[in-house]
Amino acid sequence: MAGVTQPKVSRVAPPQLVDWARSGRIRIPRFQRSYRWEYTDAEKLFDSILRGYPIGNLLMWRKPAPAAEIDLGELRINAPAVSDALSVVDGQQRLTTLIGALTASEETVDRRFRIFYDLRDKKFLSTPHSQKPRDHWLPVWVAGDNRRLIAWQRERSWLTPEDYNICDEVTTAIRTYEIPMYEIEGDDEQALREIFDRMNTFGKRLNRAEIFQALHAGPLDVQPSGLDALRERVSGLDFGDFTTQILMQSVMAVRGGKVDRDFRHEFENDADRQQAFAVTEKALRVVVDFLREDTGIPHLRLLPYALFVPVLARYAALFGRPEGRGAELLRRWIWRGSAIGAAPQGNTVALRRNATAITGDPVLSAQRLLRILPSGGEQWTPDLSQTALNRAQAKLNMLGLLSLHPVLLTEYRDEDGNRYTPGTRIDQPRLLTGLLAGKTSPLAPILSGWEKGMANRIVHPPVDKQVDMLSLLAAQGPEALHSHCFDENERVFYDSDGTGSLLMRADVVRKVIADHVQSMALWGFSDDPDPESWFGETTFDLDDFFAPDDLSGGNNAA
């Protein structure tokens, strides 16, 4: 097999991979594909390590690499030039997970790296940044470092001998687990493909096009600073495809000044540009986590207004992850703005006004955002005629239906479970399935457009057009019926054409959506700062409650 060396086979433990990563020896070429694992994959990976199960091999291509700023998980390294860098051809997902979890901290945002071992339930789990870990959850990043482990144990005088034994078992497994690693040199890309194809890999495999890009990455090991690179980075958050417009606005908002200023002359030099994109990427990670965990919006496709992203990015860059009263008011701002319109004067004006409102104090900034919104939200009601997901009201309808965690109909359940999980299916072309598609009704003049409205839709993957959805629903149990806004005691499933069922369901759907929006928007509740803050040392000036009409453009660091 000319062109490549005979693969050198060795075994490497996770701590060695961390050391190589910190020294800049491990390089992940700039594939079109980014980090795609979910937090459940990370949990299973560490469970396999603890049990001693095989997790697959690593295929590394040894070659010189230039100095570069490289990223592994949330670890960012200014790596020097090295003559024997290990470029990852196969095993990127596993390696990124291992290094990301072992180098994480309490401040890590990405749930896929916030991995713990529950000493009570004896299992690995993950938790979002917004959730405080339990005291008996051993962080993986602590287990990988003996000094941190001892300090963690000393802080917990209640640990029993059995707890200590479990800690020893977990830490020993992580530190001593040996991963087979194949290391090759050469320039025969076809031979490398053949090696890859014959390997028995674990997890979500790369395809041949991605291998090809890895082999020809060269100096592209260095992550360039630009919108395309930023878009690629944040795509790994599995929150949807951020447009370059949203990303450009986010960079501008993070840096301050007029968000719609001239982007072409923004940066003083390369270092300034690189810093700006690095800060924006970190802010967007926080934004995605906040939208998912605090506002209940699982995907960019269901975010009613795109301007929320750059405004939240500025907030995250200035104040960090929204917490406490600030987080509560921001959630109200998003949901109220989604319902009554966050950009009544147009997107550009709204973006400028909202972004400049964020300054000085996190809670007061959130209050200013609420004051910018139009009035009249208390009278808002759902518009069930809206089903196209390019409209804000249709997205609110969809989020309302998702709040019931819709159950998949029996014949359509799969390996992901029996519920319609937003995180795994929200990027499908079609999210809503009609109940009476193709049927006509004698009540049509009265129901005007009923067959196109939300009362005639359930959240479900597409089904065959010949399937009688109402009959299929009638055969489901109470849990499934309730999750799709039907009363299990209804007999109107059996009326002549199903329109009676739709009429009754429309009232239920309307109430479900309205109740969900109100639970998030909280119209009628006080938007003042937390009363406890009135007795602290902080003093407020009247000017703090009002944002400046404008801020000067240019290189204003946030």
Same domain, 49 and 193: yes
Tell whether the model's pLDDT for residue 220 goes beyond 50.
no
Instruction: Enter the tokens of residue 498.
Output: 């199903």
DSSP per-residue letters across 122-178 = TEEEE--TTSPPPTTEEEHHHHT-HHHHHHHHHT-TT--HHHHHHHHHHHHHHHH--
Distance CA 536, CA 276 (A): 35
Q: List alpha helices for 227-269, DSSP H.
A: 227-235, 244-255
- Both structure tokens of 6: 């005979």
Same domain flag for 75 and 187 = yes
Whether residue 349 is contained in a domain is answered as yes
pLDDT tens for 321-355 read 999 999 999 999 999 999 998 887 778 888 989 99
Do 401 and 515 reside in the same domain of the chain? yes
Q: Establish if 190 belongs to a structural domain.
A: yes
Give 512's pLDDT tier (boundaries 50, 70, 90).
very high
Q: Is 535 contained in some domain?
A: no
Q: Is 67 in the same domain as 155?
A: yes
What pLDDT is attached to residue 198?
Answer: 58
Looking at the structure, tell me whether residues 272 and 294 fall in a common domain.
yes
Q: 235 lies in a domain?
A: yes
Question: Is 531 part of any domain?
Answer: no
Angstrom distance (rounded) from CA 211 to CA 198? 14
CA-angle at 344, arms to 339 and 346, nearest 5°: 125
More confident residue, 501 or 25: 25
Assess whether 362 and 404 both reside in one domain. Answer: no
Question: How many CA atoms does the CB half-sphere of 293 hold within 13 Å?
Answer: 19
Is position 385 within any domain? no
- Answer whether residue 104 is part of any domain: yes
Please measure the distance between the N-terminal and C-terminal CA atoms of the chain and give it in whole angstroms: 55
- Domain final residue pick, 379, 414, 449: 379
Residue 68 corresponds to which tokens in the numbers above? 């570069």
Q: How confident is the model at residue 387 (pLDDT cuts 50, 70, 90)?
A: confident
Percent of the chain with pLDDT over 90: 39
Question: In terms of domains, do 456 and 504 share one?
Answer: yes
Shared domain for 362 and 317, answered yes or no, is: yes
| pLDDT tens column, 86-138 | 988 888 889 999 999 999 999 899 999 999 999 999 999 999 988 889 999 99
Q: Is residue 540 part of a domain?
A: no
Phi and psi (nearest 5°) for 5? Answer: -75, 160
Of residues 345 and 365, the one with the higher pLDDT is 365
Strand partners, 72: 75
Same domain, 81 and 188: yes
Cβ neighbour number for residue 499 with a 10 Å cutoff: 23
Residues facing 434 on adjacent strands: 457
Mean pLDDT of 446-475: 68
**Neighbouring residues of 243: CB distance < 8 A, sequence distance ≥ 6:** 306
pLDDT band at 318 (very low <50, low <70, confident <90, very high): very high
Cα–Cα distance for residue pair 458/307, rounded to 1 Å:
28
Residues 170 and 309 reside in one and the same domain: no
List the domain range (segments joined by +) for residue 501: 392-520
> Quick check: 203 pLDDT over 80?
no
**Total domains, the chain:** 3
Predicted pLDDT of residue 537 = 46
Residues 508 and 449 in one domain: yes
Inter-residue contact 368 to 355 (CB < 8 Å)? no
